[in-house]
Amino acid sequence: MLKLKSPQKATMQITRWVSDLDWRLLLLIIPSLSVLVFLSLSSTPIDSFPSLRSFIFNHTLLTSNSPDFVNSLPSGVHNRRESSVAKWKDELLRSRMAVCLVGGARRWRPGWHRFESSSPKPLNETESQVRVLTAANSPNGIQGLLQYFNLVEGCLQMIETYQKRKNFTYDWIVRTRVDGYWNAPLGPRISFRVNTLSRPGSDYGGLNDRLGIGDLNTSKVALARLSLIPKLDSAGFHQLNSETSFKAQLTTQHVPYLTKRVPFCIVTDRRYGFPPSRFGVPVAALSSPGPLSGAKCRPCTAACQGRCVAGVMRSLYKGWSWTDWDNGSLELCNARDQWERGWEKIFDKVAGKKSASVRKRFADLKKKECVDDFNEMKKRVSNWEAPPPEELCGLGLAV
């Protein structure tokens, strides 16, 4: 089922076309959206989803023989590792999961004019929302937070509707952003039984909300960004940003959470002072070994490495935009200006041949080709509710 209510505010449900679509295409074709990919692993052949199969099973399950996995097991049970691994594999193979991609890809520039669109229709602001939320440090103020929260909660509504229609429940839910860049698969230590977020860093006084993995019950709380605001108000929380409100909704609802380092970053073309200091925002080079755990990033020639990074990161307030930098895992861009000329070559080298070919295809994409792609997509989903493909493809593409 695919719903795109407007070019600015969209909702997607995708079922069987994942195998034919590179994940990064979502970053390239849709300006602002909430995407929900439903995977019913117990009833759908895993071969239908080679991209996800490779990402989750080949890299996560098959690395279960690695030293990292062995070390992650409780002390004294290494001799039972094989049976534990087999049990975990079996449980995951029998599980159903929903993957929710939320946010806007408008900041990703695939080589042509970037997507430009008018502002989405404003949402009504209630008294409790105005009290609980703050416009500080939000590019679009409280409205920006409400629009984002609305997209996130839209995933929860889609999940519940789909479960009811198909008469089953999902075992776990993955939530992340469409403007994320992943340079490696999720590792075997990720827990699917409690809400899992990025490791401390880029948490802005709360919890980094750029990735969440959890079972259905914890995910219901994690995704309820709008409907829980009145409860936060009643609990006395005021002037919260996205990260502090996210932490408050988990803690007030007694939802446990873990933080792990994960291999992704948020691609941005926003400009930030350099070098960052105290409450500044470090922007990682896409070439950083990572894992970057949701830090801001862009393709660039690294302007700060090694000792330079250590000096910068030690000066940052750890509870704000600080990012893990140990073991040479971080390189920094000078993000004072727009993306540097020749960023395409940098991206192609870092991302690899497959992603580079996708970027190049979209760099030369014409409107007719885009319309044809959307029409093909429509054939592969159970329901389509959206503006005409011609309108969607008119955002920045040549005729």
By three-state DSSP, how is residue 17 classified? coil
The verdict on 177 and 143 lying in the same domain is yes
Among 260, 278, 309, give the residue marking a domain's end.
260
237 and 286 part of one domain = no
pLDDT digits (tens, 9 = 90+) for 70-85: 444 444 544 555 666 6
State mean pLDDT over 223-245. Answer: 95
**Cα gap 231→252, rounded to integer Å:** 8
Tell me: do 37 and 141 sit in the same domain.
Answer: yes
Rg (Cα) of the chain, in Å, rounded? 21
- Given a cut of 50, whether residue 289 has pLDDT beyond it is yes
Mean pLDDT of 340-344: 94
- 125 belongs to a structural domain: yes
Separation CA 374–CA 50 (nearest Å): 21
Domain that holds residue 281: 268-351
Inside any domain, residue 161: yes
Amino acid, res. 60? T
Order of strands across the sheet that contains 96-104: 257-260, 195-198, 211-215, 172-177, 96-104, 32-40, 11-14, 2-3, 384-385
Residue 25 has a pLDDT of: 37
Task: Give the global pTM.
Answer: 0.75
Q: Which two tokens stand for residue 197?
A: 């977020």
Q: Is 206 part of a structural domain of the chain? A: yes
- Calculate mean pLDDT across residues 119-146: 87
Residues 132 and 243 in one domain: yes
Tokens found for residue 238: 């005021």
- Residue 132 pLDDT: 95
Is residue 90 domain-resident?
yes
The answer on 313 and 231 residing in a single domain is no
What is the predicted pLDDT for the residue at 327? 86
The tally of domains found in the chain comes to 2
Mean pLDDT of the chain: 75
- Does 49 score more than 60 pLDDT? no
101-107: average pLDDT: 63
Tokens of 383: 């329901």
Query: Do 235 and 319 have their domain in common?
Result: no
102 and 188 together in one domain: yes
